[in-house]
Amino acid sequence: MKIATKLAIMPVGALALLALLPVAAHSQDTPANEAGGAVGAIVRAPVDAAAGLVGGLTGANQPRFHHYVIERRIPSYEWPDHPRVVVGDVLPSEGVRLYRVPPEYGVTTYQYTIVDNEAVLVDPSSRRIVEIVP
């Protein structure tokens, strides 16, 4: 059945809901598992900004900075009551030492530390993890 026929016999309430869905989800030529890709990309930018990734490490700086951190042999803070380190976690106020990021990495507003053997960038004012450095 053609899409026009389906729309013609659809209840009015369903048509109103359909108008609220992203257009990419209705693409006839895009497989269902790929239809939300463009929409997801648009939504991701504000989420990344809220998570603090704007102003974080970019491109070639990530592996260079990771190497820099490894060379420093900074002790890892072990967080036993926490199953996995994720962006958005707030580090405890005691027991976690933050370190200044050298200016050559272009990240002047954040500091870094190691948590459960993961290098992380942290907003020092809130102690919130803003990036996990791969």
Question: 3-class DSSP state for residue 44?
Answer: helix
State the residue for tokens 């809901």: 17
Local confidence band at 112 (pLDDT 50, 70, 90 cut-offs)? very high
Report the distance separating Cα 84 and Cα 70, nearest Å.
20
Q: What is the pTM of this model?
A: 0.58
Q: Which residue has the higher pLDDT, 49 or 111?
A: 111
Query: What pLDDT, on the 0 to 100 scale, is given for residue 55?
Result: 59
In the predicted model, is pLDDT for residue 109 greater than 60?
Answer: yes
